[in-house]
Every structure is written in structure tokens, then in C-alpha cells.
A and B are shown apart, each in its own frame.
Chain A
Amino acid sequence: MSTSVEPRIDAPVGLGCNASKASPYLMGAGIGVLSWVVFAIADDPLGITTALSAVAGFAAIPFVGADAVWHNSYWAQNVPSLSYGSLFLVGLILGACSAALASRQFHFEMVPATWRRRFGPSAVRRFIAAFGGGAIEMYGARLAGGCASGHGISGTLQLALSSWIFTILMFATAILVGSYLFNGNGSRK
């Protein structure tokens, strides 16, 4: 077992911005209600990676040229454009930013504490891992057709078989790998 002091797990308190966090059940219910709204009004379930892949088409243009993007068979069916989905991502960042500012929790973070205890204070090492982890995660999400939102919430709530397989197998893997990475005895710091 790790000898480091674990962060205290606080009981959920309050809703307001002065509380350090709101009840996870209440926030989960809020996301559930948001699902009703997006299903009924936008006909487009909560999800991230389909829209983020379209954005990646724009980002790829300077590297591979516009022709390679516009003639790509994947981007032909998930067209990079100013869409509801891409604006959803902009709103997502703005919403989280506003909530962090309102609750005075906005802060710049380079190396999170758990990572630092296990892998040391190097920002470069953390950035390389974040980049690589993000790339693997995104490739997996596109292969499976969704992420922790698209499959994990929107798909499971529709009782989709694919989404339940994805969510269970994804968490099983993440818990195994996460425990291996962060629970070990060989902490360097």
C-alpha cells in the first residue's frame, strides 16, 4: 500500500458555488435531464469524440494538406464543419471554465499530485504521457464508436448492447491499468 496521505473523500455538500463540490447524485441527475433535452430538441445524444474527430480534420490540414483531409473516407462521412457538435465542445469548455471561476477553483495545473507521487515532478514526462494517453484513448473511442459520454452515458441509458459492452470492458481495463500505475510500492517521491 502507498504510504502517502490520501485525499479525504468528502460527503457531498450543497449545490452552490461556495461548496467545494456539489452532490454527485444531483449533478448526475442534471446530466440525465440534459439528456432528455438534447434527445428531444437536438436529436443528438451527449457525446464528444465524433465532434472532436471532425475538429481533428481541420487540425490535420496543415500537416497533411487539405486534399488528404477532404478525400479521406472517414472525414467524408464525419465532415469537419462548424456544426452543433463542434459548438457543443466550445460550450463545454466555457461551462467548465465559468463554474471553476465562480467557485474559485480555477488554477493552472501541470503535474497532478497523484502522478507526482508516482512519477515525479517532471512536467515533460507528464505531458508526454498525457499526449500518448490521449491519442490511445481517442483511437479506441473512434474504433468503438463512442467515449465515456457517447457510449458510457448516452448509449447505456438507451440500453444499447454495444454501449454496455464498451462501458464495462473500458472500466475494467482502466481500473486494472490505473491500479497498476498508481497503487505500486515503488513511489519515487
Chain B
Amino acid sequence: MNLPLTGPALLPLGIVFGFAFGWLLQRARLTDTEVIIGQLQLRDCTLFKVMLTAILVGGIGVFVLHSGGLAAYHIKPANLLAVALGAILFGIGMAIYGYCPGTALAACGTGSLHALVGVFGMLAGAAAFAFSFDWIKAEVLPVGALGALRLPDLAGIPDLEWLAALFAVGFGALIISDRRKRL
């Protein structure tokens, strides 16, 4: 079997991998908008705990796979203006909606009807983007376009040191925040 798989052989795995992701999101309670809003109010750090662990475990494994030639990186370009504007719009939208796109779709499966209404909003937002794409491509994407940079390219600090620093800072902050809540 040659990896990665392509074409029709890959299609059924879309369902399988999606199923696993949806299952994990629901078991972590991230399909509950109260947990997402709780994170934004900094009273329930479930979302940060899940994301930080996923980044660290995923980061180490994908780094090893990539070093062994078994996985390719997919680095999104650092178009600074587009990424910054997009992040701000996304943050505003997420606070109002109470879900990010992945947890929203998963929440539809758990019976959240307002999540479903928001999915139609997301489809409308995607269409609005598609119809403004020519303008965005000409006027926004080129501003501050630094290319597909990685953090290790920037500072000359190797991958595993970045991940170790992230581990120390991230879990340090989570443990302190949990301890303060228990007092």
C-alpha cells in the first residue's frame, strides 16, 4: 500500500476520520456551546486543554513523520493583512455564534438547532467570500505576504525546542489557572 492514499480509495476514509474527530469533540464536550462560551469568559479551560494537547501530541508525531519522509507539511501562507483581518472577524463571529466551524457541525449532530441555523450562515459567508475573491486576491492577500513561513525559519530555534517551550508555558498556565479556581 502506497501512502498517502489518493482518489477513490481515500473517499471512505473521509467518513472514518471525520467520525473520529466528531466523536472526540463530543466526548470532550466541545459540541456544547456553554463550554465554548465558558472558555471565552475564561471560566472553563476545556477548549484550551484540548487544543494544547492536540497541538503538542500532533506536533511531535507530525515532526517525526516529516523527518522520516512519511508526511508533508501544509503551511498556509503568512499573508499578514488577510490573516489578521480574518482572525478578528473569526473571533467576533465565534463569540456571537458560540461555536467554531468544526464544533458547529459536530453540534448539529448532537441536536443543536441554533448551530444548524449558523451553518447556513457559514454557507452564506463562504459564498460572500467566493464572490469577493477577485478583489480580496488583488487588494488584501498581497499586503504583508511573507510566504509559507514556519516559526523555526524565523528565529533559528529548532522544532522540538518550540514544542518544549509551548509545553512548559501552556501547561504551566493551565495548571496555575486550575489551582486558582479550586481555592
Contacts and interface: CB of A to CB of B under 8 A. Distances in A.
Contacts of A52: 101, 105, 122-123, 126
A40 interface: yes
Given A74-B130, A143-B85, A93 B4 contact: no
A54 to B, nearest CB: 9
Interface string B120-134: 111111111111011
Interface in B121-151: 121-131, 133-134, 136-137, 140, 146, 148-151
Contacts of A149: 100-102
Interface residues of A, number: 131
B40 A178 contact: yes
B91 A170 contact: yes
Contacts of A96: 22-23, 25-26, 31, 105-110
B51 A153 contact: yes
A3 interface: no
Contacts of B133: 72-74
B183 interface: no
- Interface footprint category on B: 35 or more
A140 to B, nearest CB: 3
Nearest to A39: B71
Interface in A134-189: 134-167, 169-179, 181-183
A146 B73 CA distance: 15
Given A52-B101, A72-B130, A161 B94 contact: no
A48 B101 CA distance: 7
Interface of A: 6-7, 9, 15, 20-22, 24-25, 27-46, 48-49, 52-53, 55-57, 59-60, 63-64, 72-75, 82-100, 103, 105-115, 123, 126-127, 129-167, 169-179, 181-183
15 contacts: A9-B43, A35-B62, A49-B122, A72-B131, A74-B131, A84-B11, A93-B106, A133-B118, A135-B125, A137-B100, A144-B85, A151-B76, A156-B59, A175-B41, A177-B92
Given A92-B21, A159-B59, 14 more contacts: A22-B27, A60-B123, A73-B134, A94-B15, A95-B26, A99-B22, A114-B38, A131-B121, A134-B125, A136-B96, A147-B90, A148-B51, A170-B91, A178-B40
